[in-house]
Amino acid sequence: MVKQIKNDLGTIFISKDVIAAITGISAMECYGLVGMSSRNVKDGISELLGRDNLSKGIEVEIKGDKVLISINIIVEYGIKVSEVAHNVIDKVKFTLKEMLDLENVDIHVNIQSIRVSNIK
């Protein structure tokens, strides 16, 4: 299913893949976010996805005029997790509004893992 936006010129169809890609790129701009995560259901293991696979850590569901987005992320150790999650939500909502004119968006951030960098 795709999101449809009607205007004076016609109808614009936006696929879930486009919404997921914009969400992933936007989220990666947030401080404290190490990367997107894909949960391996079979093993229950979170894996860090490369920049080419940003949308694989994101699930997009469209119900009527509402867009539901689940984002699986890995955060940096020592950063306040709740602040990172709030920043991701705010940044993604702003970007989707600016780029796609999507306003009715619910975003759920799932912290899959914490990564420790620069151990001394």
Q: Where are the domains of the chain?
A: 16-115
Q: What CA–CA distance (Å, rounded) separates 43 from 45?
A: 5
Stretch 80-100: mean pLDDT: 96
pLDDT single digits (tens) 17-33: 999 999 999 999 999 99
Q: Is the distance from CB of 46 to CB of 39 less than 8 angstroms? A: yes
Q: What CA–CA distance (Å, rounded) separates 84 from 111?
A: 10
Model pTM score:
0.82
- Residue 90 confidence (pLDDT): 97
- Residue 36 confidence (pLDDT): 85
Fold topology of 16-115 = Alpha-Beta Plaits (3.30.70)
Stretch 45-70: mean pLDDT: 76
More confident residue, 99 or 38: 99
Identify residue 70 by its one-letter amino acid code: S
